[in-house]
Chains A and B, each alone.
Chain A
Amino acid sequence: DAMVIQNPRYQVTQFGKPVTLSCSQTLNHNVMYWYQQKSSQAPKLLFHYYDKDFNNEADTPDNFQSRRPNTSFCFLDIRSPGLGDAAMYLCATSRTSGSSDTQYFGPGTRLTVL
């Protein structure tokens, strides 16, 4: 059974049109992460929630925001997507934020910006 679910798997949006990607988990984990992977690049952490505490990476653009309405769901909002935001977006969860805690990933949402 899928433990970390991402919808949709593929998303096409227009330049400047707001888009929301969603992630849900059945693991009841405290921490949820969003990573961005551009073509031929390493996945890069955008931000994460520990419970309701939001932690933004210093170099994450303001264009990217996140919401976590409850333990199970987390959303990634891109307010005004640019062509450079086309990427694979991965959601992950872990029980705690400990360094040796396994992170469980969803299959990703591939975002295309036209």
Chain B
Amino acid sequence: ILNVEQSPQSLHVQEGDSTNFTCSFPSSNFYALHWYRWETAKSPEALFVMTLNGDEKKKGRISATLNTKEGYSYLYIKGSQPEDSATYLCAFHSGGGADGLTFGKGTHLIIQP
């Protein structure tokens, strides 16, 4: 059974502050790590797909890093805005015939004005 852990479970951040949170995953049989943002009443939206150790990806104020040897990824948000409030999910793909994603429970981020 694959275990994907996200921490913290929830996070309150003041508008304008920067923040980050963690996704831990098995370091063996790694194929890809996906990050999604899920706003209430909307569809989960893909942020990044990361495949190589040391990968760093950026999209506007959001960036992510990947360490496949130790099995973790960080998601960073710089200068948080109210529209960043969402649940951030990471998902691990182990390849080898497993065609779906194994998700973590998510980090619920609330930006306070």
A residues adjacent to B (C-beta < 8 A): 4, 31, 33, 35, 40-45, 48, 50, 55, 57, 90, 97, 99-108
Partner of A48, one of B32, B42, B49, B99: B99
CB-based contact B99/A42 at 8 Å: no
The contact string, 1 if C-beta is below 8 Å from chain A, for chain B 4-42, is 100000000000000000000000000110101000011
Interface centre among B45, B93, B94, B104 (most CB of A within 10 A): B93
Chain B min CB distance to A38 (Å): 11
Chain B min CB distance to A81 (Å): 22
CA of A105 to CA of B105 in the docked complex: distance in angstroms? 16
CB-based contact A44/B103 at 8 Å: yes
CB-based contact B32/A99 at 8 Å: yes
CB-based contact A41/B105 at 8 Å: yes
Residues on the A chain within 8 Å of B49, using CB: 100-102
CB-based contact B101/A45 at 8 Å: yes
User: 5 tightest A-B contacts by CB?
Assistant: A45-B100, A99-B31, A99-B93, A97-B99, A99-B32
Partner of B46, one of A42, A43, A104, A106: A104
CA of A90 to CA of B49 in the docked complex: distance in angstroms? 19
Chain B min CB distance to A34 (Å): 9
Chain A min CB distance to B101 (Å): 6
Chain B min CB distance to A7 (Å): 13
